[in-house]
Structure 1
């Protein structure tokens, strides 16, 4: 009896598991727990018979003085725990690294590639894995030095073959941070741990069943292969799971109202859905939405990663519509053209919410009246989940934008509040409507309306921050959003702001606007805590990420640099993590 193997866990496997748990805890969801538990169960159930066979046939062994004693089918309990902790740790690392990626947009990778390429990739992988199984079987039959390698391949390669056949295009299409990195990092770490354990004799590979080749001094090549293969199995299992979730959550016409914790049967059905059945228009809309959010709002893009999959998709599509509509008006070459775009958008919304307009008619209107690069944003708007009034008010906000000029400025703080409610408060209202649609609440209708109203106030606060940041940018395009009575009290005119947007007296007005923003925010942020729990933390992150811009702007001497992020990425990440911990 001994504690050598137990000490390996205490020193080397439990600490990284605990650290990753601490890092990911604010993001941990029921679905994450379900995925990890599912994979841990498969790992333990599939590894016990194989490991038991190796021990009984003296392929490897554990000296009695290094283990506590109790065994399961001749496997030391420390070894069984290794199956659990490795699967858990590698899974957590995968979840952390893949969280920023909106994976559904990679479902289209196969059809975007040159014709036939993906079929050959699938076939090449299948041939390779079948070859590995055949070679492993031959090694086992021949016995001798290749026995351990053969047993690894015959055990692991069939699982990899299944996962590859089901999810190969998803695996190949995703960024390396979702695939290669979560395999290599734990593999390198476990190679180092295994080297120490083999040198100390914590476990022993018996001679005659191994090649005697070392990857480096102390690390048998078979052990290196084992840890690489097992981590590949874990990550590919996570990828196949996420592939199925992406299909379930992205195509409501194929899978209406999938359960939060889908059964293995539903997951397999999703994986077996042919790519030819995917909704190309929806994938295009999502891909363009992600691109727009990355370009236009880095703070909100980071925050979007914290939202559950289905809600994240709807919010991306909503943002895409609002961004496209705003750009159509802002980028118009003349006032008349801008008004024409607003009129077309009004007509579009009327048709969307009309009982008599058919989908083909709506599609024809969008294709006839809007540029190609904007069409997916309009056609994929999740209009069925939100009421028309916030969208119509948003267009009224655009009309107010057009009216603002030297001849017709924002006169008072009340005028500014109305404008902010229309261009930003409406967006917050729609976000909350999407949340309540996806996650039905036990709150009364009155309470829900109160929360929506508070969301409107938070949206106003965020718009004030946006205006405070962009005083110089707005001045370049001839716009001033500071109330005229504020300017007058500071001894400034509309024209002064256009000519000298960084005047010291304008800085005092910037701080005035930021103070108003934080006052509104503090009064309304409590309503966030009454949102469904699935969205509560992510909404806090989205709001706090933007309010952090305001905090930086309030710092003495801070200078806004056009085209550069106001909040460094590392600071946005820290803000998000701290916010989720609350």
Structure 2
């Protein structure tokens, strides 16, 4: 029933208020509901955004508004009552204050658990276009109608229970109240409810429900409240827990999670489909949320949804640290960052996975041509009219990408937000990949002969990516002056180089064994009495166990790489605090998640000597949480 654990609801004619345990009321919230709420608040506070606060307030308001009339009716009609000795006194429409607080605290706690579990998800990839008249479209419509019919039958049966006015009255009243809301939410968000991972739908329902079942069992056994035998079935889920009580907590948590899923479905439509919603306010109005939910799924941009799904799968597989860090960014900025980073992975893989240098160079030329078509200049017609490059070249770039690249790569290229990115960093990125082609079996050090060469390489393959990320941040959160923007771009480039030094330090063995490459400057190798060839050979010798002397030399080389990484990191990390406030904490997470690899290498952790160094999951989570709280001090 819709009550606080502290209330003693019993039919007035069956129980005298003097028999109730008066000490149970105010202490039940302190004992049972507030501790999990406080714990979840502590865990989620660094992740909380203005949109999350809006979501919590929105859902809580609806939950209270929907529950109060129903609860008030049950109390006023004596479906249950409560002894005055066990409540504080104030009421709302005959509902004790403690009862109203329970509506709030249950919604708040379940919402926080849902938000915590759903944070890593990019909700846009769970949208599904439903082409009219197709088998796929019909399938989704059948699923929608099937759910609607099932809930409608439950409502019909509930009405029968209520009309019978017998032992199934309370069960019927619960279903009559909850089922219509479930029908509406299913109708609006059935796609998400079926497609989201169970960790973000089943768990946020199951865990709070099980907890409340246990607490309710304890309370009922103590006699904290009693359900009238005249209105209950007498069926128990287990000893001490009436089936009506179990159903109530299950349905209320379902309502909360279904409501959250519908909210996120609407936000996903707004953020993922700019063709329908060119601009979206930070806090969309309830009317806009409803409009987004009512947008026909047959009009969704299937290519954009698929491109996002491919990008997410790519980053989960090959750039886990960045993907997890991206979860702390919001809205369209996160989407653009994922597409950008996916483009970088695609370009890198095309070069690295080519069968031979000729094929790699061919891919480079195709990538350059794609950028040429995307960034070509405006065209002036003979009559003086101007055709903007972004309009004319988009079609040319699209046609070329469709013809020249595989499907899973083509969509990523087409979704690259070139209109809001400067072209120079992208061309410089391709020059960095060109440097990789200079590594050959006869020249294992490639172009890396000095520290300056290594800095140039790091600037091209990583500093450019950092600059592009900052450009996206400043586009989505404008207001930074030109001078400050320039300083941020320079600091970003330097930080990118620091991260690339970390990357090289981590992958020394992998690069040597799998690619035959040595990214260590020749001058550093000479200090250790090594050559690029002997350096690479040292890793094959280690496979035979002959690694004593070489391990010391490897440690010295790796230490120098890490020193230069931390030098640039320390010099430029304060620039993060000059970013727009919405991006500061997420950018700290992105940087610190990667620099933690460097810290693991310094401590000799992970698999530094055998392969790629790894950061344990619990430590990665701790580093991210700490970075969200505030600037990290080494």
Using the size of structure 2 for normalisation, the TM-score is: 0.89
Q: Does 2:189 correspond to 1:151? A: no
For residue 229 of structure 2, give the secondary structure of its aligned residue in structure 1: coil
- Distance in 2 of aligned mates of 1:272 and 1:193: 39
Query: 2:581 maps to what in 1?
Result: 533
Query: 1:166 maps to what in 2?
Result: 188
For residue 257 of structure 1, give the secondary structure of its aligned residue in structure 2: coil
Q: Does 2:140 correspond to 1:118? A: yes
Once the two structures are superposed, what CA deviation does each residue of 1:39-70 show, in whole Å capped at 9, x if it has no partner? Answer: 10011111111000111112122222221111
Q: Which has the larger radius of gyration?
A: 2
Query: 1:35 maps to what in 2?
Result: 55
On the 8 A contact 2:110/2:204 being kept in 1, the answer is yes
For residue 113 of structure 2, give the secondary structure of its aligned residue in structure 1: helix
Query: 2:289 maps to what in 1?
Result: 267
Query: 2:534 maps to what in 1?
Result: 496
Query: 1:398 maps to what in 2?
Result: 433
Query: 1:80 maps to what in 2?
Result: 100
- Distance in 2 of aligned mates of 1:222 and 1:558: 52
Instruction: Evaluate the alpha carbon distance shift between residue 224 and residue 564 of structure 1 in structure 2; reply closer, same or farther with a 3 A threshold.
Output: farther
On the 8 A contact 2:505/2:562 being kept in 1, the answer is yes
- Distance in 2 of aligned mates of 1:273 and 1:446: 42
Query: 2:5 maps to what in 1?
Result: none
- Distance in 2 of aligned mates of 1:358 and 1:348: 10
On the 8 A contact 1:8/1:197 being kept in 2, the answer is no
How large is the RMSD of aligned CA atoms in angstroms? 1.7
Query: 1:133 maps to what in 2?
Result: 155
Q: CA offset at residue 89 of structure 1?
A: 0.2
Instruction: Evaluate the alpha carbon distance shift between residue 99 and residue 12 of structure 1 in structure 2; reply closer, same or farther with a 3 A threshold.
Output: same
Instruction: Evaluate the alpha carbon distance shift between residue 167 and residue 428 of structure 1 in structure 2; reply closer, same or farther with a 3 A threshold.
Output: same
On the 8 A contact 2:144/2:186 being kept in 1, the answer is yes
Does 396-405 or 171-180 show the bigger shift?
A: 396-405
- Distance in 2 of aligned mates of 1:445 and 1:551: 35
Task: Give 1:91's match in structure 2, choosing from 111, 114, 121.
Answer: 111
Q: Does 2:38 correspond to 1:13? A: no
Once the two structures are superposed, what CA deviation does each residue of 1:111-158 show, in whole Å capped at 9, x if it has no partner? Answer: 798553222211111111111111111111110111111111111111
Instruction: Evaluate the alpha carbon distance shift between residue 206 and residue 437 of structure 1 in structure 2; reply closer, same or farther with a 3 A threshold.
Output: same
For residue 208 of structure 2, give the secondary structure of its aligned residue in structure 1: helix
Does 481-490 or 297-306 show the bigger shift?
A: 297-306
Once the two structures are superposed, what CA deviation does each residue of 1:424-473 show, in whole Å capped at 9, x if it has no partner? Answer: 000000011101111112x3210111011111111101000000011111
Q: Does 2:335 correspond to 1:313? A: yes
Does 238-247 or 360-369 show the bigger shift?
A: 360-369
Once the two structures are superposed, what CA deviation does each residue of 1:381-426 show, in whole Å capped at 9, x if it has no partner? Answer: 1111211111011011111121244544411111100110000000
Q: CA offset at residue 110 of structure 1?
A: 5.8
Task: Give 1:462's match in structure 2, choosing from 491, 499, 504.
Answer: 499
Query: 2:413 maps to what in 1?
Result: 378
On the 8 A contact 1:61/1:205 being kept in 2, the answer is no
Query: 1:517 maps to what in 2?
Result: 565
Does 64-73 or 30-39 show the bigger shift?
A: 64-73
Task: Give 2:621's match in structure 1, choosing from 541, 566, 573.
Answer: 573
Q: CA offset at residue 558 of structure 1?
A: 5.7
For residue 403 of structure 1, give the secondary structure of its aligned residue in structure 2: coil
Query: 1:178 maps to what in 2?
Result: 200
For residue 60 of structure 1, give the secondary structure of its aligned residue in structure 2: coil
Task: Give 1:435's match in structure 2, choosing from 462, 473, 479.
Answer: 473
- Distance in 1 of aligned mates of 2:406 and 2:32: 57
- Distance in 2 of aligned mates of 1:276 and 1:391: 35
- Distance in 2 of aligned mates of 1:114 and 1:62: 53
On the 8 A contact 2:375/2:393 being kept in 1, the answer is no
- Distance in 2 of aligned mates of 1:84 and 1:34: 15
- Distance in 2 of aligned mates of 1:30 and 1:218: 42
Query: 1:473 maps to what in 2?
Result: 510
Using the size of structure 1 for normalisation, the TM-score is: 0.97
Structure 2: runs of 5 or more not aligned? 1-16, 379-388, 543-549
- Distance in 2 of aligned mates of 1:113 and 1:9: 51
Structure 1: runs of 5 or more not aligned? none
- Distance in 2 of aligned mates of 1:49 and 1:380: 49
Does 416-425 or 294-303 show the bigger shift?
A: 294-303
